[in-house]
């Protein structure tokens, strides 16, 4: 005789109704895991809708395990990160990025309940909060492959992040400020004549002549400089991160494998290193810290520790800020328009250095090597950069001379 519910309706195989509270149950065996599973519903039609979904999932080879159904996007992301072979610094950056933007938002949604509209709404929310498109894109590059893994593992049928990222989301990338030749001259004239900032002339010279990344610059040790062979060897960088043991300096591999390079030193750069050594001696600055086996750092704080990345940028911000304030006062007295400098960072100077070398006609592959770019298209983005209209005029004039010859 068929079992019935409390309304006299026949119950199918696996269905039952609890007498204590009238709750409906359906028990079945997951064909993938072989585990017995149970789902609940408040009424019979709702239970049978769930049964249809379970049957469809098993037909499509989708896992129906209860634990899988409860998996959140946060848990999925953690599982995805376990599958990746990453440098520790990269892993920490990814985890920090996820924790800072996704963990308390989209990360709390169950994977099986995540829809494309959830992902798009999340990106739109970040966009309204004025995050850059590149930041939203980075989150997408973490979320999308994690969900692809869920598809491959038969947890979901399709990836809800597919086609979810639009170029409309986020602030457009700002053009990197490249100092014109005139701006570079005014910058150096100012710091050379300044009693406060003239100690930074060697460092800024090296930054503009060699185009090092900030981490490479602050990680330089005197053993990396071979004055006899006139070479600068780059094989590491310094980062200031918390690896679970508090914020402190760590030595890290270069950003890319191409970052390991030997750069021939021009006379200008050789002189700058010589001047920096003299400055350290005159200021009584001696390297006091060993970081993962590296010591005798070149660019030092008053404490003898390596300069922090933020310190390098603060130096540049302060120089430009002081210059602009003095220039405004000077221009006012001379009844002319002030020639202000743009706000710059260590990355701006690296970009300017690359542009300078490109404008001098340096071979693209050589420039790529010196900059430590893994791909030539990165170098090309800089190589083709136009700082201002004077670049166009100079190039036309140079072209005319070639044609005349």
Whole-number pLDDT of residue 332: 95
The DSSP string of 175-225 is PPP---HHHHHHHHHHHHH-TTTGGGHHHHHHHHHH---HHHHHT-BGGGE
Whole-number pLDDT of residue 172: 63
Long-range contacts of 319-326 (CB under 8 A, 24+ apart): 319/187, 319/190, 319/191, 319/197, 319/200, 320/187, 320/344, 322/194, 322/196, 322/197, 323/186, 323/187, 323/190, 326/190
The full set of domain ranges for the chain reads: 15-70, 74-152, 181-397
The CATH code belonging to domain 181-397 is: 1.10.443.10
Whole-number pLDDT of residue 57: 74
The CATH code belonging to domain 74-152 is: 1.10.150
Whole-number pLDDT of residue 403: 46
Tokens 């249809």 -> residue: 52
Taking only the tens of pLDDT, the chain with its 405 residues reads 578 888 889 999 888 999 889 999 999 887 766 788 888 899 999 999 988 888 887 776 665 566 677 889 999 999 899 898 887 778 888 998 999 999 999 999 999 999 999 999 999 999 998 888 888 999 999 999 999 999 988 888 899 999 998 877 766 655 557 899 999 999 999 999 999 999 999 999 999 999 999 999 999 999 999 999 999 999 999 998 877 778 899 998 887 788 899 999 999 999 999 999 999 999 999 999 999 999 999 999 999 999 999 999 999 999 999 999 999 999 999 999 999 999 999 999 999 999 888 888 888 888 889 999 877 776 766 655 544 556 556 655 655 554 454
**Whole-angstrom Cα distance, residue 173 to residue 397?**
32
């Amino acid at each position: 005789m068929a079992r019935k519910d409390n309304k006299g309706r026949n119950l199918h195989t696996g269905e039952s109704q609890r007498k204590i509270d009238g709750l409906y149950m359906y028990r079945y065996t997951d064909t993938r895991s072989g585990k017995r599973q149970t789902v609940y519903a408040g009424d019979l039609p709702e239970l049978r809708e769930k049964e249809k979904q379970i049957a469809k999932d098993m037909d499509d080879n989708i896992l129906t395990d209860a634990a899988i159904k409860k998996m959140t996007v946060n848990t999925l992301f953690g599982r995805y990160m376990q599958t990746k072979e990453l440098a520790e610094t990269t892993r920490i950056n990814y985890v920090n990025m996820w924790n800072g933007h996704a963990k308390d938002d989209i990360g709390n949604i169950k994977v099986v309940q995540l829809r494309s509209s959830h992902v798009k709404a999340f990106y739109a929310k970040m966009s309204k909060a004025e995050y850059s498109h590149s930041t939203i894109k980075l989150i997408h590059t973490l979320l999308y492959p994690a969900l692809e893994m869920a598809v491959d593992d038969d947890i979901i049928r399709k990836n809800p992040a597919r086609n979810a990222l639009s170029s409309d989301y986020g602030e457009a990338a700002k053009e990197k400020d490249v100092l014109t030749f005139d701006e570079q001259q005014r910058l150096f004239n100012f710091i050379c004549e300044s009693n406060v900032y003239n100690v930074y002339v060697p460092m800024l010279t090296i930054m503009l002549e060699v185009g090092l990344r900030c981490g490479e610059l602050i990680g330089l040790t005197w053993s990396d400089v071979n004055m006899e062979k006139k070479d600068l060897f780059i094989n590491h960088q310094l980062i200031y991160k918390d690896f679970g043991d508090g914020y402190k300096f760590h030595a890290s591999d270069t950003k890319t494998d191409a970052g390991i390079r030997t750069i021939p030193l021009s006379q200008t750069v050789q002189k700058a290193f010589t001047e920096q050594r003299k400055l350290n001696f005159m200021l009584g600055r001696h390297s006091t810290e060993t970081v993962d086996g590296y010591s005798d750092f070149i660019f030092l704080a008053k404490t003898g520790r390596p300069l922090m990345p933020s310190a390098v940028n603060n130096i540049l911000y302060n120089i430009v800020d002081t210059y602009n304030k003095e220039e405004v006062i000077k221009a006012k007295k001379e009844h002319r328009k002030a020639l202000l400098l743009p706000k710059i960072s260590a990355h701006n100077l690296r970009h300017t250095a690359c542009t300078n070398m490109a404008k001098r006609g340096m071979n693209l592959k050589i420039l790529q090597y010196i900059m430590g770019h893994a791909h030539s298209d990165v170098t090309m983005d800089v190589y083709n950069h136009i700082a201002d209209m004077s670049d166009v005029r100079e190039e036309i004039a140079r072209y005319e001379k070639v044609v005349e010859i």
